[in-house]
Structures are given as structure tokens and as C-alpha cells.
Amino acid sequence: MNSSLDLWKLLAGLAIFLYGMFLMEDSIKNMSGKAFRRIIRQYTNGRLRSVASGALITAILQSSAAVSLMVLAFVGAEMMTMANGIGVIMGSNIGTTFTAWLVAVFGFKLKIEAFALPLIAVGGMVLIGFGPRSRVFQASRLLMGFGFLFLGLDYMKTSVETFAQHLDIQSISAYGLWLYAIVGILITALMQSSSVSIAIVLTALNSSLITFPMAAAMVIGANVGSTVTVLLGAIGGTQSKKRVSVSHLVFNLVTGAVAFAALQPLSLLVSHFIDTTTNSVMALALFHTLFNVIGVLLFFPFIAILARYLVKTFPDRKEMLTVFLQNTSTEMTDAATTSLRQEIIHVFEECQLYNLRSFRVDEKLVFDHSLPFEKNVTKRFSLEDQYDNIKLLHGEIFEFYARLLNEKLDEAEAKELERIIYASRNIMNSIKNIKGVRHNLDEFDASDDDNLNNQYKSFRRRLMELYHDINRFRKLENVQELYRELLRSIVHLEKADKHFIKEILKMTASGTIKEIDIATLLMVNRLFNQACRLQIFALKDLLLGQEQIHDFDHTLEMKVLLDEEKTREDKDNN
């Protein structure tokens, strides 16, 4: 009889088990992902409810890591309090023990192939007949997930059964139970799933590769190792996310230490209900649940204290994004108005930088100086972070504007303030337009279609031309000359827009472009052109005097009327 370990069968079983877990988790998320997020968000008001919600949802999703990462997101977005977030994570530790019960009840007591293969077969046949957005499609994936889960478990079990008969357990136990706890931590950290590591432990226990105390130590280690996923999810995150991840680590470490110290009395307690020699797998499932419940009971009275301690340890750092307003008092209205104008010009430059980076244009081609956002950080902002910072800066500007309105202002000052805050709103609408078409621009750039590639290059060129013009005329000291340059920029934008439309018409007439691409290009061009115009309008309100602004607006109105008249004449002639 071959007494060696069938390593490939063991690894194949583990892979099939992992795939089954993935199918189950992913299909449940797709079918009810929003519902679970809504439950976590709405039904966690209070410590007891948060623990219960965490346990229930984790038992259904079969992933404490997924629930913990949801908590990270909700606490980070301030949609959930720190104390309730800790409660959900504590509950998720109880919910994750459902995997052990599932395997203990069904995995080793029934002939696995008798129900695993039919589940895979039925799920696979149904899956073929429905689209991926169908709930039936996701339900069939769930069936297949269950089937693969138990089939993988069967492969792991049979691969070690013969090997276990020839293994001297006494030689392994000499290393001490602490070693098995460390092994449990390492397996869970590597697998990123305590459910998988616990299934491995149950398989080894069922085949008598390890004793019950060894298995119990490994399960304790698996609980501690499950914190790695959440810790990784908090790296580089907000202070709130760091608090949640540390609370998870503290809870699991203390619970693990208590369980390991009380391993013998807890094992004796379990043996009063289930015989650890004849039904060790079921006993281990009970042990897993028992020490997690004890951990929740120990921590439950101290949730609020832990939350306060973590807030103190990881305080919110309110970053001052303003450059000109942070040391300006609103009492001196003249100075405050000047600072507000300068801060909005700062927002304008950050908007330019965001747009350049969206088009992958080196900002050094436009700017000969570093902008404040980039100066004050040790690492380069991502586009998403930069966009969020611009929004926050706009919020600080508006807050300052609101405080300034409470001062004694004459009519002229009030109108000037209204005009420059309107410029800030135009800047934000401009950047929002570019953000909205970023994914389209990326598709144009990566497309195999030369037409789309060329139009992407055209957008980049139009943006660069605009910004070079802006940099040139911003240096002008003569207000009348600046007024004329701003009008010329509007005319250039309209010429570029008309040229773009002609190009699209040519491609459409020649049949060299798809209908869907035509619609996308037209939409992107509209938003891009509008974004450019809004930037010019913002500069008009920031840099020109009241008289020049009136002339600018009047000229544009006359131009619109003349263009409409010319359009009507062209229609009549045709």
C-alpha cells in the first residue's frame, strides 16, 4: 500500500475548494450585494445590533474579510460610527464559524460525490442557458460553488487518509501547541481566508493527522491570521480605516491569547457536549464558535472605551488645503476678498493640473512651478485623491465666502464676491466634465481604431493650446488686451469644435467609424468643449473688471444672435 502523501491531489482539492468558496461568495454578492451593504449601513445602530448583523451577514457571505472590508469603507465614509464598526467586526468572527459547522455536518458524514457532482452538473447546465446578469445565472453559480466546495474537501480528505495511517503523531506533538497556532496564522495570512485554513485543519483532524488540541491551536491561529486582509485594506487609508483595522487586530489577538491560555478548560467544556475522540470534527466546530463568543462577551462592555482609545491614538488630521485663506480674517473685507480671489486662482491651477494628468500630459509643459497640493506631500497624489482634494478646497472656499457675507459689505463688494465665487463653481463644473469622460478618453487611447486614437490626440492638442494661451495672457497687465485675448480663446474653442464636427461627418459619410463610437465622440467633445469654455468664463470673472465683464458678456450674446441668424439664412438658402 502506498503510504506517501498524494500532494497533487491535495493541492487540486484545495484549489477546487477555493474556487467553490469564490463562486459562492461572488454569486451571493451579485445577487444581494446591495442588500447586504444596506443592512450593514442601516441595521448597525447600537452595539448589540451591530454584533448580530455582523454575525448574520458573515454566515451568509461566508467571508469575514468581505464584511470587514465593507466596514472599513463605511467607517471611512463616516456612514457608520467607530463603535458600531467594532461591533460588526466582532460579530463577523462569530459568523465565520458557520463554515466549520457546514463542513463538520455535511463534509465528512455524507458520501460527498452523491450530492457534490449533481450540484455541479445542474448548476453548470442551467448556467449555460442564462446571461451573466440574470439572477438564475448567479443562483446556478451558487449551486456550483457548493458542489466544488465539497468536492475539493473530498479530494483533500482522500489525499491524506492513507498517509495519516503511517504518521507518528507523537513525534509532531513534541514541538508544542504554539507552533500549530503560528502555522494557522501563516496559512490564513497566505490564503487570505480563515474559512479555507479551517477547512484544511478539519481535513487533517478527520484523517487523524493532528490531534484535537493541535487543531484547536491552529483554529485560534487562523482567527488571528484573518486580520491580515483588513490590515492590508487600511494601508494608506484614512485614520478611520486604520482605527477599524487595529480594532480587528486587537480583538482577535486578545481573543486568541485568552483562548490559547484556556485551551485545556475550553476543550474539557466542549467534551461535555461532544466527544472529542469519536466526533472530533464537530467538537472543533463547537470550540471555534465557543471561543469567539467568549471573545465577544469579554469585549462587549468595552467597545465604547476601545473606540475612544483608537480615536485618540489615530486622531483625524484636518489638512489645510487652502494657501491664501488659512491665515486671513474676514473682518478686513478688502484683504479677505483679495485672498479669496487668489485661492480660486489656486483652484483653477489645480484644475488645470488634474486635466493635464487625465490626458497623460506632463505638467512641466504648462507649469514652471509646483502647485501647492504637490509641494506639501511626500508622494504624488493619485487622480482620485487630487479630485477629492480639489472638492474639499472648493468647500473651504465656499465656507470662507459664507463667513465673509456676514461682514458689513457694500453693494459693489457683494457683487464682486458673487462674481468670483461663481468663477469657483465654473471651475468645479469644468473638472467634473473631464472626470466624467476620463474612462472614454482611456478607451480612445487604448483602441485599435486609428480614428479614435487620432481624436484622442486632437483633444490633447486642443487642451495644450488652450493652456498655453491662458499662461500667455494671464501675464498681461493691460485689462483691455486681456479682455480681447479671452474673447479670442472662446472663438478658437468654437472653431476647434466646428472642425471636430466636420471630421466626424466625414468619417460617418465614408463609413470608417462605428455608430456607437460616433455617439461617444460627440458626447466627449461636447463635455470637453464645455469644460474649456467654463475655464475661460472663470478667468473672465476673476481677472477682468466689471466694465470688461459686461462687454465680454454682451459681445458673446451678440455673437450668439449673429450665429443663429446665419444658421437660419443658410437653412433658407438650402
3-class secondary structure for 293-336? HHHHHHHHHHHHHHHHHHHHHCCCCCCCCCCCCCCCCCCCHHHH
Q: In terms of pTM, does the model score above 0.75?
A: no
35: CB partners within 8 A, 6+ apart: none
Residue 322 in grid coordinates: 487652502
Q: What is the pLDDT of residue 348?
A: 92
Q: How far apart are CA 366 and CA 227, in angstroms?
A: 46
Q: What is the pLDDT of residue 483?
A: 87
Contacts of 29 (CB under 8 A, 6+ apart): 36, 61, 66
Q: State how far the Cα of 372 lies from the Cα of 307, in Å rounded to an integer.
A: 34
pLDDT at 100: 74
CA–CA separation, 406 and 400 (whole Å): 10
- Rounded to an integer, what distance in angstroms lies between the CA atom of residue 192 and that of residue 232? 10
- Cα dist. 524→124, 128, 454, 506, 520 in Å? 41, 37, 14, 18, 6
CA 561, chain centre distance (Å) = 48
Q: Is 82:75 a contact under the CB 8 Å cutoff? A: yes
- pLDDT tens track, the chain, 574 positions: 445 566 787 778 778 877 876 776 677 666 655 565 566 566 667 778 888 888 887 777 656 666 766 676 666 556 677 788 788 888 887 887 877 787 777 655 555 566 677 878 888 888 777 766 677 887 788 788 877 877 776 776 666 555 544 444 445 556 678 888 888 888 777 665 676 677 778 777 877 778 888 888 888 888 888 777 667 656 655 677 677 778 888 888 898 899 888 888 888 888 888 887 778 888 888 888 888 899 889 888 888 888 888 878 877 655 557 778 877 788 878 888 888 888 999 999 989 989 998 888 887 777 766 655 554 443 456 788 788 888 888 888 998 889 888 887 888 888 888 999 999 999 999 999 999 998 888 888 888 888 888 888 999 999 999 998 888 888 888 888 888 888 899 989 999 999 999 999 998 888 888 888 889 999 999 999 999 999 999 999 998 888 888 888 888 877 766 665 566 655 555 5
pLDDT of residue 234: 64
**Is 345 in a helix, a strand, or coil?**
helix
Please state which CATH number belongs to domain 437-574: 1.10.132
The pLDDT assigned to 422 comes to 92
Q: What is the end-to-end Cα distance of the chain in Å, rounded? A: 95
At 230 the pLDDT is 65
Boundaries of every domain in the chain: 7-313, 320-436, 437-574
What b/e readout covers 414-431, taking b as 16+ CB neighbours within 10 angstroms? Answer: eebbebbbebbbbbbebb
Rounded Cα distance, 372 and 61, in Å: 44
